[in-house]
């Protein structure tokens, strides 16, 4: 269990440093938005199973709600991450999987 927790924390750190959401051309990295751990926890099982693909990652991002305006609205995380960051996320995940 400790190894899994460490692996998820390591993955979360990588995601948090490399992936951001874009709000009015402001880049808010997932670590600063406190979303990196949620993303890592949901994607880690996919890496363990070896079933990493763009569509499944997209579904996970679509399923993570981000509250805006003090909770007045919720937007799927996938809608806030620019395409180049989604590509970067896949690169991070593929690299992490290779090193597992």
How many domains does the structure of the chain reveal? 1
Rounded Cα distance, 89 and 100, in Å = 16
Where b means 16+ CB within 10 Å and e means fewer, 77-88 reads bbebbeeebbeb
Structural domain span for residue 88 = 2-98
Residue 74 φ then ψ, to 5°: -125, 135
Q: Is the pTM of this model over 0.85?
A: yes
Rounded Cα distance, 36 and 17, in Å = 9
For 34-81, the pLDDT digits (tens) are 999 999 999 999 999 988 999 999 999 999 999 999 999 999 999 999
Residue 2 has pLDDT above 90, yes or no: no
């Amino acid at each position: 269990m400790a190894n899994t927790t460490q692996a998820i924390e390591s993955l979360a750190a990588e995601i948090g440093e490399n992936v951001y959401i874009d709000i009015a051309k402001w880049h808010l990295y997932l670590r600063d938005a406190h979303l990196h751990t949620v993303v890592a926890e949901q994607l880690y099982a996919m890496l363990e199973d070896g079933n990493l693909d763009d569509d499944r990652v997209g579904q996970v991002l679509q399923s993570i709600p981000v509250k805006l305006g003090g909770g007045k609205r919720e937007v799927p995380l996938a809608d806030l991450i620019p395409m180049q960051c989604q590509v970067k996320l896949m690169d991070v995940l593929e690299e992490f999987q290779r090193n597992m």
